[in-house]
Structure 1
Amino acid sequence: METRLANISTEDRKEIIQAYQKLLRASRNVLNWDDIKQIRKAIELSLEQAGFDRRLSGKLSIVHSLEVATIALEEIGLGRTSLICALLYDTVRKSDQSIDQIQKQFGSQVANIMDGLVKVFDLYQRNVSIQSENFRKLLLTFAQDVRVILIIIAERLQTIRTLDLYDRELQLKIASEISYLYAPMAHRLGLYTIKSEMEDLVMKYTNRDMYKFIAKKLNETKRAREKYIKEFIDPIKEELEQYNLKFDIKGRTKTIHSIFNKMQKQKVEFEQVYDLFAIRVILDSPQKHEKADCWKVYSVVADKYQPNPSRMRDWLSIPKSNGYESLHTTVLGPGNKWVEVQIRSKRMDEVAERGLAAHWKYKGVKGDQGLDMWLANIRDILENPELNAVDFIDDFKLNLYDEEVFVFTPKGDLRRLPKGATVLDFAFDIHSEVGKKCAGARVNDKNVSIRHVLQNGDQVDIQTTSNQEPKQDWLQIVVTSKAKTKLKQALRDIQYKESELGRELLVRRLKNWKIDLSDQLTGVMVKHFKFKSVNDFFRDIALEKLDVVAIKEFIQQQDRKDHERDHAESRQSGRSAENFVAPPQDDGQLQGDDVLLIDKNLTNVDFKLAKCCNPIFGDEIFGFVSVSGGIRIHRNNCPNANEMHTKFSYRIIQARWTGEAGGSYLAAIKVLGEDDIGIVSNISQIISKELKLKTRSISVDSKEGLFEGTVSVFVNNNQILNTLIKKVKEVKGVLSVSRIDAVG
Structure 2
Amino acid sequence: MLRQYELVERVKEYAPEADEALLNRAYVYTVQKHGTQKRASGDPYFSHPIEVAGLMTDLKLDQETIVTALLHDTVEDTLTTIDDIRKNFGPEVARLVDGVTKLSKIEQMPENERAAENLRKFLLAMSEDLRVLLVKLADRLHNMRTLHFIRSPEKRQRIARETMEIYAPLAERVGMYEYMREMQLLAFEQLEPEAYATIVGRLEQIRSSEGGQVDAIALKVKQALAEDGIRVEVSGREKHPYSIWKKMAERHVSFEQITDIMAFRVHTESPEDCYRALGVLHRTWQFVPGRFKDYISTPKTNGYRSLHTTLIYQGAMRVEVQIRTREMHRLNEFGLAAHWAYKQGGSRPDGQVGWLRDLIEIVDASHDAEELLEHTKLAVYQDRIFAFTPKGALFQLPKRATPVDFAFAVHTDLGAHTVGAKINGRHVPLRTPLSNGDVVEIIKGANSEPQLSWLGFVVTGKARAAIRRAVRQKERAEVAEIGSKLFEQIADQLPAKIGKKAIRAAVERLELADEEDLMFAIGAAKLSDRDVMEALVPGSTVDLPEAPRDGRAVSIKGLTAGVGFALADCCHPVPGDRIVGLRRPGEVVEVHVIDCFTLARGFDTDWIDLSWGDRSHGAVGRLRIVLYNRPGTLAEVAGIFAKNYANALYLEQVERDDPFHTYAVDLEVQDLAHLTRIVSALRASEAVAEAERV
TM-score (norm 2): 0.67
CA distance in 1, matches of 2:233, 2:476: 62
Q: Is the 8 A contact 1:408 1:414 kept in 2?
A: yes
In structure 1, the residue matched to 2:76 is: 93
In structure 1, the residue matched to 2:219 is: 234
Residue of structure 2 aligned with 1:435, choices 368, 390, 415:
415
CA distance in 2, matches of 1:437, 1:33: 54
Residue identity matched to 2:290:
S
Residue identity matched to 1:47:
V
Matched, 1:63 2:55: no
Residue of structure 2 aligned with 1:259, choices 235, 241, 244:
244
Matched, 1:108 2:108: no
In structure 1, the residue matched to 2:467 is: 487
Counterpart of 2:333 in 1: which secondary structure? helix
In structure 1, the residue matched to 2:208 is: 223
Write out per-residue CA displacement over residues 445-473 of structure 1, whole angstroms, 9 at most, x where no aligned residue. 44444334334444444322222122111
How many angstroms does 1:506 deviate by? 6.2
Residue of structure 2 aligned with 1:32, choices 16, 21, 27:
16
Matched, 1:381 2:355: no
Residue identity matched to 1:378:
L
CA RMSD of aligned residues (A): 3.6
In structure 2, the residue matched to 1:166 is: 150
How many angstroms does 1:265 deviate by? 2.9
Q: Is the 8 A contact 2:262 2:319 kept in 1?
A: yes
Write out per-residue CA displacement over residues 278-328 of structure 1, whole angstroms, 9 at most, x where no aligned residue. 011112x1xxxx221001111221122111121111111101111111111
Counterpart of 2:212 in 1: which secondary structure? helix
Residue identity matched to 1:563:
S
Summarize the Cα distance change of 1:303–1:98 in structure 2 as closer, same or farther, 3 Å threshold: same
Q: Is the 8 A contact 2:60 2:341 kept in 1?
A: no
Identity %: 32
How many angstroms does 1:403 deviate by? 2.9
How many angstroms does 1:348 deviate by? 1.1
How many angstroms does 1:277 deviate by? 1.8
Matched, 1:41 2:33: no
How many angstroms does 1:33 deviate by? 6.8
Summarize the Cα distance change of 1:209–1:108 in structure 2 as closer, same or farther, 3 Å threshold: same
Considering only CA atoms, is the larger Rg found in Structure 1 or Structure 2? 2
Structure scoring higher RCO (CA < 8 A, sep ≥ 6) equals: 1
In structure 1, the residue matched to 2:352 is: 371
The equivalences for 1:466-481 within 5 A come to: 466-481=446-461
Alignment gaps of 5+ in structure 1: 1-15, 515-534, 541-554, 573-579, 582-744
Residue identity matched to 2:13:
N
CA distance in 1, matches of 2:8, 2:20: 8
In structure 2, the residue matched to 1:617 is: none
Q: Is the 8 A contact 2:359 2:379 kept in 1?
A: no
How many angstroms does 1:559 deviate by? 2.9
How many angstroms does 1:394 deviate by? 1.1
Counterpart of 1:310 in 2: which secondary structure? coil
In structure 1, the residue matched to 2:134 is: 150
In structure 1, the residue matched to 2:321 is: 341
CA distance in 2, matches of 1:474, 1:493: 16
Q: Is the 8 A contact 1:406 1:415 kept in 2?
A: yes
Counterpart of 2:300 in 1: which secondary structure? coil
Q: Is the 8 A contact 2:56 2:65 kept in 1?
A: yes
Q: Is the 8 A contact 1:77 1:354 kept in 2?
A: no
Q: Is the 8 A contact 1:323 1:359 kept in 2?
A: no
Residue of structure 2 aligned with 1:330, choices 310, 315, 327:
310
Matched, 1:421 2:413: no
Matched, 1:175 2:156: no
Residue of structure 1 aligned with 2:116, choices 113, 132, 141:
132
How many angstroms does 1:171 deviate by? 0.9
How many angstroms does 1:505 deviate by? 5.0
TM-score (norm 1): 0.63
CA distance in 2, matches of 1:188, 1:260: 21
Q: Is the 8 A contact 1:236 1:300 kept in 2?
A: no
Matched, 1:194 2:175: no
Q: Is the 8 A contact 1:428 1:483 kept in 2?
A: yes
Q: How many residues align?
A: 516
Counterpart of 1:399 in 2: which secondary structure? helix
In structure 2, the residue matched to 1:204 is: 189
In structure 2, the residue matched to 1:268 is: 253
Summarize the Cα distance change of 1:565–1:559 in structure 2 as closer, same or farther, 3 Å threshold: farther
Residue identity matched to 2:450:
P
In structure 2, the residue matched to 1:79 is: 62
CA distance in 1, matches of 2:6, 2:242: 29
CA distance in 1, matches of 2:28, 2:557: 74
Write out per-residue CA displacement over residues 413-464 of structure 1, whole angstroms, 9 at most, x where no aligned residue. 3333333322222222233222222111344444444334334444444322
Summarize the Cα distance change of 1:127–1:481 in structure 2 as closer, same or farther, 3 Å threshold: closer
CA distance in 1, matches of 2:554, 2:66: 70
Counterpart of 1:40 in 2: which secondary structure? helix
Write out per-residue CA displacement over residues 502-539 of structure 1, whole angstroms, 9 at most, x where no aligned residue. 4555677899999xxxxxxxxxxxxxxxxxxxx99978
How many angstroms does 1:55 deviate by? 3.8
Summarize the Cα distance change of 1:501–1:311 in structure 2 as closer, same or farther, 3 Å threshold: same
Counterpart of 2:338 in 1: which secondary structure? helix
CA distance in 2, matches of 1:566, 1:346: 91
CA distance in 1, matches of 2:417, 2:109: 48
Residue identity matched to 1:266:
R
Residue identity matched to 1:464:
K
Q: Is the 8 A contact 1:370 1:416 kept in 2?
A: no
Q: Is the 8 A contact 2:4 2:27 kept in 1?
A: no
